[in-house]
């Protein structure tokens, strides 16, 4: 397979197609014939109105967990650097919903063998009705001081591929510096389902991200809609399954007589050359937002949000594999999930984030939850026994009780520290659109967290970010990039700070910052 070169200084945007389409019967009846074709059903629009009733009741059932005591903040991020460079020209008139100069939904991975080697991805030129013209990728080999960006080749038409749109970028490192890039592809002109055709793909770079091979399709469907993929590679020294690569995602079942979502996974044991036939982890009702992680003993964990058919109560669910991804055990519920969402924003309000301490094996799950103050805060649950038991949800972020935390994320580093990140309105003086990116760190395994550290140097106006959905909600991404190295942390986020070349105002770019 001939590798395709990456053009330097090329911008790219994490295509989070976020069609998060729940594809249940109750969802489909709300669509018109043209709405279905736009492949951008926003799950938050479906779940959150139903959730408000549950939330009011649950606030009486679950008293708020007190914010842990904080130590003086010692964590300091360096000045954020712009890592996206507008690789694509302004979209043609034939693409009226494509938003020029927009990058959004970043994700980042750090090489476990060399934490100066980073790879980030994002959506490039976001469509208001779902996905992006291409997916961007950036590489740094000096710890985030300098980046080279490009488009992942062979995915969408804009980068030489056959698909109309790409989304849900997810970079991951394997052993020996091999880099994987997992993506969602939409619209090849052959689909006959209400959301069109879709596919899950993985691209591989064997030179650290400089060049990329042709994408390999793990699944391709003309009717049911595949979505919300994530990826991990076993890089644990001494693991029997070291080098195994795993991808999981949900399938929105749209054929007559079906409904809900099936959660599936696939694995590769030959550095992404071939992949196993997708197998089922869970099915029935809602299964969305799966995150995969590998523990220090090689155990593969999957955590996602789920609900029984017709149930308005989301919960967090877990399944794990102890045989290198050949099979998964039973699904267990680990926490209730009481997100409220934030009016005017699409911010991953029904999606969890998950990481594992690489030494102790402790599991950390963070998710937006309104039980504490009535608006979404960054809630944390912890397991110290491989997922058998979990702590009660506790609020991590500080700041005003009335200020929500959005697009929450969690990561760990090899020093045993835990970092939780989120967008926040805590410095907003009134319009409800001036955002910052903050983090809180724990140095004692999640028992307590330090005061929030501001990563952005100044607040930015979120109305200048990309828009998504029929309501044109502010869209910074359903995910955000956080990664931990040996002792360091890396944050990659969206912010409209640079003046637009095409008109008044600012354009949303991807920025990266490092703390050592």
CA-wise closest residue to 340 among 300, 319, 367: 367
User: Residue 70 falls within a domain, yes or no?
Assistant: no
Residue 228 has pLDDT above 60, yes or no: yes
- What is the number of structural domains in the chain? 1
Cα→Cα distances 196→154, 223, 229, Å: 20, 6, 17
Beta carbons of 17 and 165 less than 8 angstroms apart: yes
Q: What is the residue-wise DSSP string for 237-267? A: TT-TTTT-EEEEEEEE--STT--SEEEEEEE
User: Residue 69 falls within a domain, yes or no?
Assistant: no
User: Cα–Cα distance between 332 and 326 in angstroms, integer?
Assistant: 19
Any residues with CB less than 8 A from the CB of 56 and at least 6 apart, and which?
none
Strand partners, 286: 307
Is the full-model pTM beyond 0.75? yes
Task: Give the pLDDT confidence of 457-468 residue by residue, as tens digits.
Answer: 999 999 999 999
Any residues with CB less than 8 A from the CB of 50 and at least 6 apart, and which?
312
User: Cα–Cα distance between 303 and 319 in angstroms, integer?
Assistant: 7
CA-wise closest residue to 485 among 302, 358, 299: 358
Residue 248, burial from CB neighbour count under 10 angstroms (0-12, 13-18, 19+):
buried
Give the containing element (helix H, strand E) for 353.
Answer: strand 353-356
Neighbours of 46 (CB within 10 A): 19
Task: Give the pLDDT confidence of 243-269 residue by residue, as tens digits.
Answer: 999 999 999 999 999 999 999 999 999
List, in sequence order, the alpha helices (H) in 318-360. Answer: none
pLDDT band (50, 70, 90) for residue 31: very low
User: Residue 72 falls within a domain, yes or no?
Assistant: no
User: Residue 75 falls within a domain, yes or no?
Assistant: no
What does the pLDDT read at residue 30? 27
User: Cα–Cα distance between 22 and 260 in angstroms, integer?
Assistant: 6
* CATH number of the domain that residue 432 is part of: 2.120.10.10
User: Residue 350 falls within a domain, yes or no?
Assistant: yes
Residue 6 has pLDDT above 60, yes or no: no
Task: Give the pLDDT confidence of 153-202 residue by residue, as tens digits.
Answer: 999 999 999 999 999 999 999 999 999 999 999 998 888 888 889 999 99
User: Residue 283 falls within a domain, yes or no?
Assistant: yes
User: Residue 440 falls within a domain, yes or no?
Assistant: yes
User: Residue 446 falls within a domain, yes or no?
Assistant: yes
User: Cα–Cα distance between 23 and 255 in angstroms, integer?
Assistant: 10
Mean pLDDT of all residues in 279-293: 97
Residue 372 belongs to domain spanning: 4-64+80-515
Beta carbons of 211 and 5 less than 8 angstroms apart: yes
């Amino acid at each position: 397979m001939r590798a395709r070169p990456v053009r330097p200084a090329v911008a790219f945007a994490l295509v989070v197609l976020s069609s998060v389409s729940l594809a249940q019967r109750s969802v489909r009846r709300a669509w018109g014939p043209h709405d279905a074709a736009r492949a951008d059903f926003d799950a938050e629009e479906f779940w959150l109105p139903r959730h408000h009733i549950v939330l009011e009741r649950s606030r009486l059932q679950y008293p708020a967990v007190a914010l842990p005591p904080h130590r003086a903040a010692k964590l300091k991020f360096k000045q954020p650097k712009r890592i996206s460079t507008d690789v694509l020209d302004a979209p043609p008139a034939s693409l009226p919903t494509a938003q020029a100069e927009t990058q959004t939904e970043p994700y980042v991975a750090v090489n476990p063998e060399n934490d100066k080697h980073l790879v980030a991805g994002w959506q490039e030129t976001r469509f208001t009705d779902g996905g992006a013209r291409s997916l961007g990728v950036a590489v740094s080999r000096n710890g985030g001081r300098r980046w080279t960006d490009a488009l992942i080749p062979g995915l969408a038409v804009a980068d030489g591929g056959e698909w109309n749109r790409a989304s849900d970028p997810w970079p991951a490192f394997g052993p020996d510096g091999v880099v994987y890039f997992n993506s969602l592809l939409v619209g090849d002109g052959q689909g006959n389902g209400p959301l069109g055709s879709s596919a899950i793909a993985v691209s591989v770079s064997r030179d650290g991200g400089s060049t990329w091979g042709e994408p390999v399709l793990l699944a391709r469907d003309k009717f049911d809609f595949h979505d919300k993929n994530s990826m991990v590679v076993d890089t644990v020294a001494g693991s029997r399954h070291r080098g195994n690569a795993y991808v999981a995602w949900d399938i929105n079942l749209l054929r007559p007589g079906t409904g809900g979502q099936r959660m599936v996974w696939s694995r590769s044991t030959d550095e992404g050359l071939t992949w196993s036939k997708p197998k089922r982890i869970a099915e029935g009702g809602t299964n969305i937002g799966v995150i995969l992680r590998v523990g220090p003993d090689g155990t593969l964990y999957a955590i996602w949000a789920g609900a029984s058919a017709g149930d308005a109560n989301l919960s967090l669910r877990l399944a794990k594999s102890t045989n290198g991804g050949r099979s998964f055990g039973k699904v267990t519920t680990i926490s209730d999930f009481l997100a409220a969402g934030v009016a005017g924003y699409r911010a991953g309000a029904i999606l969890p984030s998950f990481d594992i301490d690489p030494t102790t094996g402790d599991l950390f799950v963070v998710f937006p939850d309104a039980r504490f103050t009535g608006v979404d805060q960054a809630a944390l649950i912890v397991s110290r026994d491989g997922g058998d038991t979990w702590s009660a949800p506790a609020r991590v972020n500080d700041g005003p009780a009335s200020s929500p935390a959005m697009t929450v994320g969690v990561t760990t580093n090899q020093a045993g520290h835990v970092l939780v990140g989120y967008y926040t309105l805590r410095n907003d003086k009134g319009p409800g659109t001036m955002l910052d990116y903050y983090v809180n760190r724990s140095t004692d395994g999640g028992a307590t967290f330090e005061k929030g550290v501001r990563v952005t140097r100044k607040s930015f106006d979120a109305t200048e970010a990309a828009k998504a959905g029929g309501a044109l909600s502010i869209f910074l991404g359903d995910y955000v990039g956080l990664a931990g190295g040996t002792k360091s942390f890396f944050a990659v986020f969206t912010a409209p700070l640079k003046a637009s070349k095409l008109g008044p105002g600012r354009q949303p770019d991807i920025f990266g910052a490092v703390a050592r």
